[in-house]
Chain A
Amino acid sequence: MRRVLSVIVLNEHGVLSRIVGLFSGRGYNIDSLTVAPLAGGEFSRINIVTSGDERVFEQIVKQLHKLIPTYKVIESEEFIEKEMALVKIPLNENLGGLDAVLKAYNGVIANSNENFLFLMVADDATRIDNFLKTIKKYNPSDIVRSGSVLMEIK
């Protein structure tokens, strides 16, 4: 089962490798990972998408708590979750209907040059999946996807 959680940690040397080491050392999966400092700079927020049953997830949460630099583990059921995807499409493709697709996914043209269009969308993970399926027909020459960023609703 897919699980998402956020960990607030002291923004100090080696803290990310502690978290990643915890997952790899215990054989837990990391499906995606995003990190950035919080305002003030003392703490960082690490967003993790993982998978596993109830027991595994409970262990992950406890083990994250156990790390000395961990301030808080947020495992809210209700997160706003957004991922970003960047897509590079050759200009010589037939671009008919692209506008409609972008509109449907709240996407924009982020940039362009003489050879390519660069598209950008931000949405939840399943909608990003769908967007990337749809966009296939324009033969994208590159796709980059970020991990999830999370914010609890409550």
Chain B
Amino acid sequence: MKEISGSTMVCEALRAEKVKVVFGYPGGAALNIYDEIYTQTYFKHILVRHEQAALHAADAYARMSGEVGVAIVTSGPGFTNTITGLATAYSDSIPLVLISAQVANSLIGTDAFQEIDAVGISRPCVKHNYLVKNIQELPRILKEAFYIATSGRKGPVHIDIPKDVTAALGIWDYPQEITMKTYKPNYKGNAKQIKKFVELLKEAKRPLFYLGGGCVASNASEELRELVKITQIPAVETLMALGTLRSDDALNLKMAGMHGSYAANMALSECDLLISVGARFDDRITGKTSEFAKRAKIVHIDIDPSSISKIINAHFPIVGDIKSVISQTLDELKRDQFEIQTQEWLETLKRYQNLYPLSYEDSDEVLKPQWVIQECAKLAPDARIITDVGQHQMWVAQFYPFNFPRQLATSGGQGAMGYSLPAALGAKLAVGEKEVVVNFVGDGSVLMNIQELMTAYEYGIVVINIILNNAFLGMVRQWQSMFYDEHFSQTDLSVQADFVKIAEGFGCEGYDIKTKDEFRSAFKRALNSQKTTLLNVAIDRFEDVLPMVPAGGAIYNMILPKLKDKK
């Protein structure tokens, strides 16, 4: 067999894994790899302007396409800049492979220029990582990395490759398949457990599905829609699951949790059978755990055994891939006639939905963020939506009608500000010309990776960025309003950049928007533009995200829009 260099191996592995786009940033230790990238023709390399952006872009590429995202960076600061991106992908179980260059083996441990213990730093932020000590192990490690990232509970995998290994020659025997003695994810649910689960479904009076990000990760939307339909069991979705069911499905009670709908949170509080499907009982959902779904038996379906009973004790655990388990459940259910008596329960929930629907008070004097979001949905139905982190993220989750899985990419588990601009670029590259990508971002968070407008311009990646500009770090301001006597410590952003000029400075288009008409016409122009656009939309400065469950409170104790006005 012929010998090739470590750098060639990296590119060959990307080819073998059918990777089409790689996001990265070069540097000294990565020079050999970049020299190889210069000549290869297998994949497109996108030069981002900050390594964190490479990870966020690869992350959203993965979320939107269902494929693995790939990034390449240099040693030392190149690598440390990726940590937020790794943590974000790890928290949300997104399949990524990060390849970082390392100083040569002979320099490791000498505090050499741009040396850092990369695998030591990334360890708690990744599913697995490797330091490649020897060219002989590189083919196997590359294959394993892709396998681990994309199988079982998905997640980021990091490979740190010393510079001498990228130059060394070795035999290219890329394994076709991987069998690892120590890692064997289990996909099928235990048949006995599924039978029991079906019995529980049939007996329940007030059953509820609690859908999480695992539903999206395992592409189980179709199966879940069918299950909800034939059982007539209602469902709540987490932020990560939005789009699994259609937003206009009567059985979809919408998002649950801290900023969830009244009906969703009451359903969680009053159900007698809670079926958690690929959700992880995040504290933003459960609120005070001792009050969470108190009266319910808990069925917990997850591919990751360590998620089960971690926070809320499960009475009926089922370990397996969501798609498989739900298919198995459907097969079992269809084996005989059944009728689940949920009528009374559904009526109760209907009442809750009517009592406090997600709502806001519109105005003609000042733009309301919720109006902007709904208007965007009207003008670009079926757009792919990216959000950053803050109030705008929650308003989008509440008011944008998500109708298909992978329609939304947002940083859920970490809530990493700076996510959305690079993510929008990754998303656009994943979905292609025909689909519209809209990024909702705050005036605070947009400044955290705004340099990526440069990347958008260079590669002609066309996305629409909407700054919901309240001249505040809005979400923090909201907490300060409610719980800190309106001490707006370090959250007032009323000294503003000229966002239009910034956009133009990066070769993009920008518009300042203050009225509904201005928004409509600018958005339409953006839809038809060949350039990335930044719409700087001035919104009501003091609009709050409601309902809200105060941190640590029981989720049935919500601050609701109307109740707030009475205070």
Q: Are A58 and B309 in contact (CB under 8 A)?
A: yes
| Other-chain contact of B131, A13, A25, A55, A65 (Cβ < 8 Å) | A13
Distance from B142 Cβ to chain A, minimum over Cβ atoms (Å): 15
Determine whether A146 belongs to the interface, using a CB cutoff of 8 Å to chain B.
no
Q: Are A17 and B305 in contact (CB under 8 A)?
A: no
Q: Are A10 and B182 in contact (CB under 8 A)?
A: yes
Determine whether B123 belongs to the interface, using a CB cutoff of 8 Å to chain A.
yes
A63-B124 contact in complex given A10-B181, A70-B182, C-beta closer than 8 Å: no
| Other-chain contact of A62, B128, B183, B306 (Cβ < 8 Å) | B306
In chain A, positions 14-67 with a C-beta closer than 8 Å to chain B are 14, 17-18, 21, 25, 55, 58-59, 62-63, 65-66
Q: Are A59 and B182 in contact (CB under 8 A)?
A: no
Q: Are B305 and A65 in contact (CB under 8 A)?
A: yes
Q: Which residue of B lies closest to A14 (CB)?
A: B119
Determine whether B120 belongs to the interface, using a CB cutoff of 8 Å to chain A.
yes
Q: A55 — which chain B residues lie within 8 A by C-beta?
A: 309
Determine whether B229 belongs to the interface, using a CB cutoff of 8 Å to chain A.
no
The residue in A59, A63, A65, A68 that gathers the most chain B C-beta atoms within 10 A of its C-beta is A68
| Other-chain contact of A14, B131, B148, B183, B304 (Cβ < 8 Å) | B131
Q: A9 — which chain B residues lie within 8 A by C-beta?
A: 182
Determine whether A71 belongs to the interface, using a CB cutoff of 8 Å to chain B.
yes
Q: B284 — which chain A residues lie within 8 A by C-beta?
A: none
Q: A14 — which chain B residues lie within 8 A by C-beta?
A: 119-120, 123, 129, 131
Distance from B132 Cβ to chain A, minimum over Cβ atoms (Å): 10
Determine whether B434 belongs to the interface, using a CB cutoff of 8 Å to chain A.
no
| Other-chain contact of A59, B123, B183, B306 (Cβ < 8 Å) | B306
Q: B309 — which chain A residues lie within 8 A by C-beta?
A: 55, 58
Q: Which residue of A lies closest to B307 (CB)?
A: A62
Q: Which residue of B lies closest to A9 (CB)?
A: B182
| Distance in angstroms between the alpha carbons of A70 and B182 in the assembled complex | 6
Determine whether B310 belongs to the interface, using a CB cutoff of 8 Å to chain A.
yes
A18-B123 contact in complex given A65-B306, A66-B304, C-beta closer than 8 Å: yes
Distance from B234 Cβ to chain A, minimum over Cβ atoms (Å): 30
Determine whether A69 belongs to the interface, using a CB cutoff of 8 Å to chain B.
yes
A25-B306 contact in complex given A14-B119, A68-B182, C-beta closer than 8 Å: no
In chain B, positions 288-312 with a C-beta closer than 8 Å to chain A are 304-306, 308-310
| Distance in angstroms between the alpha carbons of A28 and B123 in the assembled complex | 17
Q: A70 — which chain B residues lie within 8 A by C-beta?
A: 182
| Other-chain contact of B306, A13, A21, A66, A69 (Cβ < 8 Å) | A66
Q: A25 — which chain B residues lie within 8 A by C-beta?
A: 124
Determine whether B56 belongs to the interface, using a CB cutoff of 8 Å to chain A.
no
In chain B, positions 87-140 with a C-beta closer than 8 Å to chain A are 119-120, 123-124, 127-129, 131, 133
| Other-chain contact of A69, B119, B123, B182 (Cβ < 8 Å) | B182
| Distance in angstroms between the alpha carbons of A10 and B310 in the assembled complex | 26
Q: Are A17 and B123 in contact (CB under 8 A)?
A: yes
Q: Which residue of B lies closest to A26 (CB)?
A: B124
Q: A59 — which chain B residues lie within 8 A by C-beta?
A: 306, 310
Q: B308 — which chain A residues lie within 8 A by C-beta?
A: 62
Q: Which residue of B lies closest to A24 (CB)?
A: B124
Q: Are A68 and B305 in contact (CB under 8 A)?
A: no
Which chain B residues have a beta carbon within 8 Å of chain A's beta carbons?
Answer: 119-120, 123-124, 127-129, 131, 133, 148, 180-183, 304-306, 308-310
Which chain A residues have a beta carbon within 8 Å of chain B's beta carbons?
Answer: 9-10, 13-14, 17-18, 21, 25, 55, 58-59, 62-63, 65-66, 68-71
List 25 contacting pairs A-B, 8 Å CB cutoff, sorted by A: A10-B181, A10-B182, A13-B131, A14-B119, A14-B120, A14-B123, A17-B123, A21-B123, A21-B124, A25-B124, A55-B309, A59-B310, A62-B308, A65-B305, A65-B306, A66-B305, A66-B306, A68-B127, A68-B128, A68-B148, A68-B182, A68-B183, A70-B182, A71-B181, A71-B182
Q: A13-B133, A14-B129, A68-B148 known; 5 other A-B pairs, CB under 8 Å? A: A9-B182, A14-B131, A59-B306, A68-B180, A71-B181
In the A-B complex, list the 8 residue pairs whose CB atoms are closest, starting with the nearest.
A62-B306, A68-B128, A71-B182, A66-B306, A68-B183, A25-B124, A63-B306, A69-B182
